[in-house]
């Protein structure tokens, strides 16, 4: 069972080291500087041939000791024909504010109150685009299959949008707000949706989650089905952004589609637990950033959420009351294979990075992935694959089928 981590050096049941926020903090504390520098180069890559720069924020942007803040800068090579296109981007990961047994309205208000100083800190720090975690207004109750949690659903211009619109306008900041949406125009159907709030406080648009998991306790199709919005890229004053919600990160073609539509930054707001996905977490988004020549911001909630009624998921495990430990570890990845250290595995946090979007085109030019891709070949195969009479292109060794004499 996962346990919370306290301020000493003991190993806990989930494999963490108490007193350390992340693998990188553990390594930096226990390796000689020159060895840590080389290990860091292998784990985090290099940006323009060097380690990521660190940014110094004003004191007014600092958070309380209970929160963690990481800041860095992705550079690009200087160009003669284009000026740098530097945008400051933020990610927020957080635990819920109250137990899941508290009144729903109190739970939601508690989360708003918890996030307000974190969003304020991002605004004071000059963040241009901020993304929150998947279903940030509520506990991630979709493991339970209980329909009472549908009460947290709201229209895209509902309570959470109004809360964030004021902050977006105040700080001249685009905010990506992933919520449980209730579509009031189509029978009040529910969707897992990211609402894009513009820097003027307007709603630019929305994107609905494309891929719905059916694995372990992720019983999300009890509440909502696959989205119907395609792979939209939202052109903001700060750059072109896409939102690949949670489980979509396991689907390479989902990442590809946002790139084909011109995304420069793709956010992956998530809610995922250690036992299921943690070894995959540092890999998938970084691969997507490389393959598609854009930046990726990966956000995961943090903490263990315990529900009042035990549940099972048809996987042979005994009934239980929690999903497992949401391991946070939010981070940024860049087209040049560099990435930031992650936020804490167990603490709320704000991740801020400056990124020069010129790096996207520079790496398209360097690697030529768009030019060397064989889209017509892939399209032909997919066109055949989706038809009932599809036959795989398998060439068998004739000796496999020759009868023995």
- The residue annotated as part of the active site, out of 114, 131, 134, 181, is 134
Query: Is the Cα dihedral 325, 331, 333, 338 positive or negative?
Result: negative
Distance CA 87, CA 351 (A): 14
209 is an active site residue: yes
Distance CA 129, CA 26 (A): 30
- The residue annotated as part of the active site, out of 131, 206, 240, 246, is 246
The enclosing H or E element of 110 equals helix 104-124
48 is an active site residue: no
The burial of 173, by beta-carbon neighbours within 10 Å (0-12 exposed, 13-18 middle, 19 or more buried), is given as buried
- The residue annotated as part of the active site, out of 108, 209, 220, 284, is 209
Distance CA 190, CA 206 (A): 14
**Residue indicated by tokens 């007193």:** 19
Six token digits for residue 57: 């924020």
CA distances from 37 to 52, 91, 344 (A): 12, 25, 20
Question: Length of the chain in residues, anyone?
Answer: 405
Six token digits for residue 27: 């390594």
Distance CA 276, CA 216 (A): 8
Residues 241 and 249 sit within 8 Å (Cβ to Cβ): no
134 is an active site residue: yes
Residues assigned a catalytic role: 134, 209, 246
């Amino acid at each position: 069972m996962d346990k919370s981590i306290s301020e000493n050096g003991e190993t806990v049941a989930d494999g963490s080291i108490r007193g350390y926020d992340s693998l990188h903090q553990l390594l930096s504390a226990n390796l000689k500087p020159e060895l840590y520098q080389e290990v860091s180069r292998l784990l985090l890559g290099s940006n323009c041939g060097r380690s990521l720069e660190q940014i110094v924020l004003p004191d007014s942007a600092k958070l309380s000791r209970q929160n963690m803040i990481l800041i860095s800068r992705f550079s690009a090579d200087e160009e003669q024909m284009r000026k740098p296109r530097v945008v400051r981007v933020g990610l927020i990961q957080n635990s819920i504010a109250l137990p899941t047994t508290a009144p729903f309205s109190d739970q939601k208000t508690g989360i708003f109150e918890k996030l307000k100083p974190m969003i304020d800190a991002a605004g004071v720090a000059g963040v241009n685009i901020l993304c929150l975690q998947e279903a940030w207004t509520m506990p991630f109750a979709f493991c339970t299959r209980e329909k009472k949690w549908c009460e947290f659903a709201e229209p895209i211009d509902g309570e959470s949008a109004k809360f964030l619109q004021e902050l977006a306008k105040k700080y001249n900041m685009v905010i990506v707000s992933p919520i449980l949406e209730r579509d009031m125009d189509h029978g009040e159907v529910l969707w897992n949706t990211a609402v894009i709030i513009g820097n003027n406080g307007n709603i630019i648009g929305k994107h609905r989650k494309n891929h719905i998991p059916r694995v372990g306790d992720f019983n999300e199709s009890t509440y909502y089905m696959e989205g119907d919005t395609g792979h939209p890229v939202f052109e903001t004053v700060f750059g072109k952004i896409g939102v690949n919600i949670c489980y979509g990160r396991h689907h390479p073609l989902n990442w590809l589609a946002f790139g084909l539509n011109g995304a420069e930054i793709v956010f992956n707001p998530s809610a995922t637990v250690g036992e299921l996905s943690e070894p995959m977490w540092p890999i998938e988004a970084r691969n997507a950033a490389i393959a598609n020549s854009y930046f990726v911001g990966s956000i995961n909630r943090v903490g263990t959420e315990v529900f009042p009624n035990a549940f099972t998921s048809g996987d042979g495990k005994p009934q239980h009351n929690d999903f497992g430990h949401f391991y946070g570890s939010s981070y940024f990845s860049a087209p040049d294979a560099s990435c930031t250290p992650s936020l804490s595995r167990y603490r709320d946090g704000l991740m801020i990075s400056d990124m020069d979007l010129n790096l996207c085109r520079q790496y398209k030019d360097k690697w030529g992935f768009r030019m060397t891709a064989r889209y017509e070949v892939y399209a032909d195969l997919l066109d055949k694959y989706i038809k009932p009479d599809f036959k795989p292109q398998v060439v068998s060794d004739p000796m496999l089928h020759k009868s023995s004499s």
